[in-house]
Amino acid sequence: MTALAAIRVRLGRLLREDGLSFFGLIMLVLLVLLGLVGPYLPIGDPTRIGAGPRLSPPSWVFPFGTDELGRSYLPRVVEGIRATFLLSVVAVVITAVIGTMLGMLAGYFRGFSDHLVARGADILFAFPAIIVGLLVAAVVGPGQISAIAVISIATIPLFIRVVRSVTLGVSGRGFVTAAEVAGASSGRVMLVHILPNITGAVVVQLTYAMSIGIIIESALSYLGLGVQPPQASLGSLLREGSAYLTIAPWLVLSAGAVLSVAIMSVNLVGDAVRDGLEPLKGRLLT
């Protein structure tokens, strides 16, 4: 059975047997769907000022209440989900591609390129994401591009380290040596023999990186370094709401609750994927 098929089977069984992961998957799917179709839902315009009274508590018309400009908060939260997820996904996918490539090169060729890439990853890993965020924002200015850059810098060491170490393992296997002896080029060895055998590890790192990405995006937007007004993300909504915490707590509560659910569901699904890939963990004998 190939690794991907194994994930599918294991994941399927785990989700059926493990209610918590199943709940996480449902929530994640709901959030992603909400983000995707949000702009077409009849819940109001997230940017319309004075749609209702200022800072009004949740009601039938405004389920999440309204903010200090009288904008309906529900469409703003949906817009926030969309922005946060989109940014994190784009950033993490770009990072995964670059990180996997670098990790594979380092693990396969070893030697000098290995030292260069591995030490580079260590250096990036040593910087706290928020400090990097301030630096990047100072250089390119706050906005989506700098948010993506910061998420990439913070999560790329995850991919490089893990991909490098699994590549080291796969490179030592017989089929790689056999291909080398047959005269296959390094590119062919990496694409045909190594990459398909490390996808499992990459998928696991993707789920880690995804939850880190969401947290970083929210933190940056909260600090005003990410998404810029009038656009909303879950982080920037938290910031706007926090100014009125005492008189309109529903703003922070609704954005905060959605953010927590988002991070939790990504982690739950990630755990299920990891467990699916390591079915032998905890066994006495194999």
Partner 1 sequence: MSTPVVELEGIVVTYRTGLLGGEGFDAVRDVSLSIGEGETVGLVGESGSGKTTLGRVCLGLQRPTKGTMRFGGDPFGGLRQRRGQLSIVLQHPEWALNPRLRCGASVEEPLLVLGVGSGERKQRVAAMLDNVGLDAGFVSRYPGQLSGGQRQRVAIARALVTQPRFIVFDEAVSALDVSVQAQVLNLIADLQKEHGFGALFISHDLAATRYLSHRIAVMYKGEIVEDAPSETFYGTPDHPYSRALMSAIA
Partner 2 sequence: MSKGSASALVEIDDLVIAYDTPAGPIRGLDGARLAIGQGETLAIVGESGSGKTTLGMAAGRLLPPEARAESGRITVDGVDVVGAGNEELRALRRDRLGFIFQNPMSALDPTMRIGRQVARAIGGNPAVETIAALLRRAELDDPDRVVGAFPHELSGGMAQRVVIAMAIARKPKLIVADEPTASLDASIREKVMVTLGKLRGETGASLVILSHDLRLIARHADRVAVMYGGRVVEVGETATVLEQPAHPYTRALIAAAAGNEKPGQRLEPILGTPPVLTARCEACAYEPRCNFAEPVCATTRPEERDVAGRGAVCHFAESVLTRAGSQREAGAR
Residues that bind partner 1 (CB under 8 A): 1-3, 173-175, 177-185, 188, 192-193, 196-197
User: Smaller CB distance to partner 2: residue 2 or 185?
Assistant: 2
Contact partner at residue 182 from partner 2, partner 1, none, CB < 5 to 8 Å by partner kind: partner 1
Q: Are 38 and 75 in contact (CB under 8 A)?
A: yes
Query: What's CA 237's distance to the chain center, in Å?
Result: 19
Contact partner at residue 89 from partner 1, partner 2, none, CB < 5 to 8 Å by partner kind: none
Site for partner 2 in 257-286 (CB under 8 A): 283-286
Residue-wise burial string across 229-239, b where 16 or more C-beta atoms lie within 10 A, e elsewhere: eebbbbbbbbb
Least separation in angstroms between residue 73's CB and partner 1 is 49
- Other CB atoms within a 10 A radius of the CB of residue 196 amount to 13
Question: Which residues pair with residue 72 across a beta bridge?
Answer: 66
User: Smaller CB distance to partner 1: residue 26 or 168?
Assistant: 168
| 3-state SS assignment for residue 72 | strand
Contact partner at residue 281 from partner 1, partner 2, none, CB < 5 to 8 Å by partner kind: none
Closest CA to 63 of 74, 77, 79, 51: 74
Closest CA to 88 of 225, 208, 251: 208
User: Smaller CB distance to partner 1: residue 66 or 171?
Assistant: 171
User: Smaller CB distance to partner 1: residue 37 or 175?
Assistant: 175
Contact partner at residue 177 from partner 2, partner 1, none, CB < 5 to 8 Å by partner kind: partner 1
Contact partner at residue 57 from partner 2, partner 1, none, CB < 5 to 8 Å by partner kind: none
